[in-house]
Chain A
C-alpha cells in the first residue's frame, strides 16, 4: 500500500485510516504451489512482481489476505544483504548466515562448502571491498544456497556478477527446482523460459495470465509489442501522407549515440512505429525488412531537424543505426514525418531496443532536441546465429572429403 504523503502513510499504519486514496500494489492474487514447482514471474516494471516476491518471502505482510508457507524460505531479493565492505569474506559469511537464520555452529560446519562454492581461494580472508563484482555475487549466493531452503525466492539477481557466477547460479537453481519450490523473477524472458515450466504474468497488480511458460511468454510478448506502438491512429493516417524516404547519412558531423547531448527541447518526438510488411512487428528474423516511422514536431522555427536511431542488443551495445538528412533548410515550426527502411542483420536471439533521437544542426556537433530510449522493441528469433554481435546471411557452407590422399599430390 502506497500513499502520496508520509503523514498519510503514518496515519494508515497507526490508526488504520488516513484519508486519500491508497495505491494497491497487488490485488486478487491466488496461488498454490508445491515442491517441484518452478514458477517464473514476468511483467513490466512496476507491475508488482517484486512486491509479490516480498510477500511470499515474508518480508512484507499483506494489507489484506494471507500468505502461508511451510519450510524454510530463503529470499534472494538482493545479493549481499548485510555484507559490510570493510569486513572479510569469512566475517561476512557469519553475519549473512545469521541473517538467514543459521546458528553459529551450522555456519562453521558449512564454511568450507560455502567457500568452495564461491571459489574465492585466499580472498575469503580479504575485505569484501576488494572483491570483484563476480566474487561478491558468488559469495553472497553461496551463503544463501547453503542455507538449504525449502522455498527459494529469486529476484532478478542473475543480471549481476560475471559470466562464471551466472553459470554457477543457473546450475544451482536447475538442481534446486527438483527438491523445492522456486519462484523466479526476471526481465530476461530467455532465462525464465530456460528455468521455469510455469509462468505468471503480472500486470498492474493483478494476474494477467498464468500457465505454461511458452503460452504465457508468447502472450506477454505480443502485448508488449502492441504497447510499443502508441500511435494506432497515426498508423491509419500514415498511408495518406507523402513520405520522403531519405538516404542514409552522408558524411556529416558525427553523432555519438552512446553519449548523446542532453535533450534541450524545442522539438518533440510524437510517435514511433515499427512495422514489417505493413504489420506491427512482434518477432523478427534476420534478413527481414523493417520500417521505422517517426512523427515529430519542431517547435522552434529555424531548426534544421533530423532523426537518428540506433538498435541496441540486450547488453546495450549499439549494433547499427541510421540518420536522416536535415529536414529542409530554414524549416518552419510544424509536424514532420520520416521513415527508415532497414534490412535486419542476422542477430542472436534476444530483445533488441531501438533508441530514437530528434536532432538539430548545431555549431559543431548536432544538438539533441528530444530522445526516446527503447522506443521500440524487436524480439529477434534466430536459429543459426549463436554468438557474436551479428552475422551476414550465409549463402552456402560446404564440407568435402578429398578422395585422393593429400600426400600424393
Chain B
C-alpha cells in the first residue's frame, strides 16, 4: 500500500512533496477527475470547449453590444472589451472552483479516508490540477479569440503563466486549509456558498481597483484575486507593466499560505477518519 515516505521529509513539507512522491497516481486521478465530469454525456470532451465558448459568446453579446461600461470608451478593437471580462472571469472561475469544491473534498472522498491507505494531500493537488486544466483551455480560447479580434498574435498573454504561478501556489494552500477544516465542519461548505456571490462583487472583475476609493483600496489587495487579475488586465489590455515589487510580495505571501496550508492539513489529517 501507499505509505507516506519515511521520516526523511520534514512533516511540514509532506503535502508539498506529495505531487512528486505519487506522480503516477496523480496522473490517473487527474485524468479521472477531468474525464468523469463529461463521461457518459453524448458530446463528451467537446463540453470542455463548449462551456467556455458559450461564455465568450454571451460576454461578447452583453459587454460588446448591450452594456457599455468601464473599459468600453477606450480605443480598442471591436469585441475586445468582452475579452477583458472573460480573462478576469476565467481566473476567478479557477479560484472559485478550487475553493468551493475544497470544503467538501475530504467528505467526497470518504472511502479514500477510511477504507484505504491513501496520500490525502494528493487530493488537493488533483483538485488544483483539474481547475488549472480548465483554466488552460480557457486561456487557449482567449488567445484564439484575441488573435481573431485584434488580427495579431497576442504575445502579451505570455505574462499569464508568470502571474498564475504564485496564484496557483496560493490556491493550493487555501485548498488544504479549507479541505482540512471542511472535513470537520460542514458549515464551511455552506458558508462558502454564501460567500461566493459576495466575492464576485468584491473582486475587481467588472471594474478596476482604480475606481475604488483610495481609503478602501488597501483592503482590496487582501483579496488574493485582486493582484493577479489587475496585473493581467493591465499587462494584456492596458499597456501597463506588472509591478515587480508587488509580484515579489505576492509570491512571498503565496508561499506563506502554501506552507501554512500544508502544515494545517498535516496537523488535522489524523482526525479525518473519525469525522467523515
Give the chain A neighbours of B29 by CB distance below 8 A.
95
Q: Mark A86-124, 1 if CB is under 8 A from B, else 0.
A: 110000001100111101100000000000000000000
A57 to B24, CA, bound (A): 23
Pick the contact of A84: B1, B32, B268 (CB < 8 A).
B32
Whether B184 sits at the interface, judged by CB under 8 Å, is yes
Chain A nearest CB, measured from B244 CB (Å): 37
Task: Give the residue name and chain of the B residue nearest to A73 (CB).
Answer: B1
**Which of A1-16 touch B at CB < 8 Å?**
1-3, 6-7, 9-10, 12-14
Give the chain B neighbours of A13 by CB distance below 8 A.
184, 267-268, 270-271
- Flag if B111 contacts A10 (CB, 8 Å): no
Give the chain A neighbours of B1 by CB distance below 8 A.
57-58, 72-75, 100-101
Give the chain B neighbours of A84 by CB distance below 8 A.
32, 36, 39
- Flag if A81 contacts B184 (CB, 8 Å): no
Chain A nearest CB, measured from B220 CB (Å): 30
- Flag if B117 contacts A59 (CB, 8 Å): yes
Whether B215 sits at the interface, judged by CB under 8 Å, is no
A54 to B39, CA, bound (A): 33
- Flag if A86 contacts B39 (CB, 8 Å): yes
- Flag if A95 contacts B274 (CB, 8 Å): no
A95 to B118, CA, bound (A): 12
- Flag if B24 contacts A75 (CB, 8 Å): no
Task: Give the residue name and chain of the B residue nearest to A3 (CB).
Answer: B274
A104 to B273, CA, bound (A): 28
Interface range on chain A: under 10, 10 to 19, 20 to 34, or 35 or more? Answer: 35 or more
Chief secondary structure at chain B's binding surface:
helix
A73 to B24, CA, bound (A): 20
Task: Give the residue name and chain of the A residue nearest to B29 (CB).
Answer: A95
With A13-B270, A73-B1 known to touch, is A59 a contact of B116 (CB < 8 Å)?
yes
Pick the contact of A98: B28, B113, B114, B117 (CB < 8 A).
B28
Chain B nearest CB, measured from A20 CB (Å): 14
A6 to B181, CA, bound (A): 10
Give the chain A neighbours of B267 by CB distance below 8 A.
13-14
Chain A nearest CB, measured from B103 CB (Å): 13
- Flag if B40 contacts A127 (CB, 8 Å): yes
Whether A61 sits at the interface, judged by CB under 8 Å, is yes
Whether B50 sits at the interface, judged by CB under 8 Å, is no
A14 to B272, CA, bound (A): 12
- Flag if B116 contacts A82 (CB, 8 Å): yes
Pick the contact of B116: A72, A75, A86, A94 (CB < 8 A).
A75
Whether A77 sits at the interface, judged by CB under 8 Å, is yes
- Flag if B184 contacts A73 (CB, 8 Å): no
Q: Mark B1-36, 1 if CB is under 8 A from A, else 0.
A: 111000000000000000000001100110010011
Task: Give the residue name and chain of the B residue nearest to A77 (CB).
Answer: B115
Q: Mark B112-150, 1 if CB is under 8 A from A, else 0.
A: 111111100000000000000000000000000000000
- Flag if A57 contacts B271 (CB, 8 Å): no
Task: Give the residue name and chain of the B residue nearest to A95 (CB).
Answer: B28
Chain B nearest CB, measured from A61 CB (Å): 5
Whether A78 sits at the interface, judged by CB under 8 Å, is yes
Pick the contact of A82: B39, B112, B186 (CB < 8 A).
B112
Not counting A6-B186, A57-B1, A84-B36, a sample of 5 additional A-B residue pairs whose C-beta atoms are within 8 angstroms of each other reads: A2-B274, A6-B184, A75-B1, A78-B111, A101-B1
26 contacts between A and B (CB under 8 A): A2-B274, A6-B186, A9-B274, A13-B268, A13-B270, A57-B1, A57-B117, A58-B3, A59-B117, A59-B273, A61-B270, A74-B1, A75-B115, A75-B116, A78-B115, A82-B116, A84-B36, A84-B39, A86-B39, A87-B35, A94-B28, A95-B29, A95-B32, A98-B25, A99-B118, A100-B1
Q: Which 5 A-B pairs have the closest CB atoms?
A: A13-B271, A86-B39, A10-B184, A78-B115, A77-B115
